[in-house]
Structure formats: structure tokens, C-alpha cells
Amino acid sequence: MDKNFEFDTYLFISPNKIIISINNKKSFEKIYKKEKLFNNITNSLPYERLDEFLNDNIFLIEKELKNFIKKINLIIKSEIFFPIQISLKQNNYDKMISQKNLNYLLNEAKNQCKKSMQEKKIIHMIIDNYLIDNKNFTHLPEQIKCHSFSLDISFICLQLSVVEKFEQILKKYQISLNQILDANYIESFFNEEDKDVFNMGNKIINGFNRNEVKIISKKISKSGLFERFFNLFS
């Protein structure tokens, strides 16, 4: 296998299943997949079994790839996520809704979430609804003026201690944790043609839900993904 090709690595974990999937970065064609099932009488995540699974497989996978796995996207199927909903309103005085207006409300919502959910990491941030002059919109209308608008925002959060456990396990194999995704959130986008959690996870990471706001380096991104967010204007 060409050691210069680019690939993405996904790791799925639930109380009774672990799957690792290696996919071509461009085509997302599956290159390697390994699955392990086991009995678990509790709903707790199997950290020790994950360590064993990685110990048994990472070297073999890297040997087959002729390349090192440096980072992993982790998909967790569990009820350990914490949901929170926040609604914020801003007067707009019959002006056009601007990037600055949205920046302010999104950052304010993020800060409120962090205050109420201390010791937790925001995994997903989704705009559920735009209320513009008392009219509901699922997506932001193009070039719209209003007297006031509000956002209904959902957050999916995870205990920091859980994140740290996964980071510690991966660190043993010189692998960093790139991104965490909630499997239940991913599965909400399944359809008859696409019920692959890795394929849909990849789509989510790359902006499939245009109402999801990406948070990078402890702040909402002002470029790249925020450009994607403000593509809602066009």
C-alpha cells in the first residue's frame, strides 16, 4: 500500500462493541475494518477492553498501511452525553442580520453553556431554530432585516474526565484524539440509503448539518467553518 496516501481513522465504542475503521480521506472508501463484540452486563464504556483492542490491532494496522495512525475520530454510543438548550434574543432595530450579530449570540450561548456545564466539553453545538420578528425559520433566510431575532441552540456535552480517559488510552499508542462525535446524534441523520455510522460521521465532520457550529481551539472558528456557517446567507 502506498505509504503517502491520506486516510482517516474512526473508532466506534459502545458498552458491548468496538470497531476501528480506516477510510481513504478523499473517496472515503473503506481500507480496513476490525470489529470486536463482547458481553457487558452494565452500560458502562469498556475502557480496559478498548486498551486491549488497540494493543492487539494498532501495530498490525500500521504495518498493513505502511503508515502510522496519528489521530482518531471517536464515535461514542452511550447515554453519558449531557444535553442542554439555550435561547438568546437580540434587538436588531430593522437592520440586516450581520455576522457580528450572530457571532455575539453564538459566543454568548457557548459561554452560558460552559458556566452551567462545568467540567464538561462541548461535543456538538446546533442551531435548532431562528425566531425572526416572531416567525420561525429552520435555516437563516438570505439578506433579511428585522426588529429582533433569537436563536434556539442545543449543546451535546461530555464529562471532561471521560475525554481525558480516552486521551490517556490513545496516548499509549502515540495517537491523539481528533474529534468526538455522539453516535445517537449521527444516527438521527440516517436514511434508507445511508446507515453507516462512519460515513455519516465523516459527513457530519465536514458540515453535513449546516446548522451545526464548529468550535475550534476553545473558541468558535471565525474562518473556514464559520465561513461555512455564514454560507447560510447565500
* Domains (range + CATH), the chain: 7-79+160-195 (3.30.420.40), 82-158+210-233 (3.30.1490.110)
Cα 137 from Cα 135, distance rounded (Å): 7
How far apart (Å, rounded) are the C-alpha atoms in residues 208 and 225? 12
Residue segments in the chain with a per-residue pLDDT below the cut of 50: 222-234
* H or E element that contains 155: strand 145-159
- Model confidence over 99-142: pLDDT tens digits? 888 888 999 999 999 998 889 999 999 999 999 999 999 988 88
Give the separation between CA 84 and CA 4, rounded to whole angstroms. 42
pLDDT, tens only, 209-232: 999 998 875 555 544 344 444 333
Cα distance between residue 52 and residue 18, in whole Å: 11
User: CA 200, CA 212: separation in Å to the nearest integer?
Assistant: 14
